[in-house]
Amino acid sequence: MYFTIIARDSTQPGSLEKRLANRDSHLEKIHAMKAEGTIVDGGAMLDDAGNMVGSIVLCEFPDRAGLDAYLAEEVYATQGVWGDIEIVPFRRVAWRS
């Protein structure tokens, strides 16, 4: 099942510093999951000035429980980088060549 994670960074002071401090660990895990096929695509959400203010991740898990298990270990979630996390199930388009 496909999911979109729309995770807005916490509005608490120091959240950008937490994001930057945990970015390497976050990206290492994301790249490994992309190679496995669990992560489809994603990236940082930006404000009008180009500052990172959240993340959008397109992913595939067998079910919501699988997604929840990932979020329980995702460094941006566990370290308080992400504040508001919205999960949207979606159906992926079968693209024609």
pTM of the model: 0.91
Domain of residue 19, residue span? 2-90
- With respect to residue 50, please indicate whether it lies within any of the assigned structural domains: yes
Tens digit of each residue's pLDDT (9 = 90 or more) over 24-78: 999 999 999 999 999 999 999 999 999 999 999 999 999 999 999 999 999 999 9
- With respect to residue 95, please indicate whether it lies within any of the assigned structural domains: no
- With respect to residue 25, please indicate whether it lies within any of the assigned structural domains: yes
- With respect to residue 57, please indicate whether it lies within any of the assigned structural domains: yes
The CATH number of whichever domain residue 40 belongs to comes to 3.30.70.1060
How is 42-87 classified by DSSP, letter by letter? EEEEE-TTS-EEEEEEEEE-SSHHHHHHHHHH-HHHHTT-EEEEEE
Q: Give the chain's domain count.
A: 1
- With respect to residue 45, please indicate whether it lies within any of the assigned structural domains: yes
- With respect to residue 96, please indicate whether it lies within any of the assigned structural domains: no
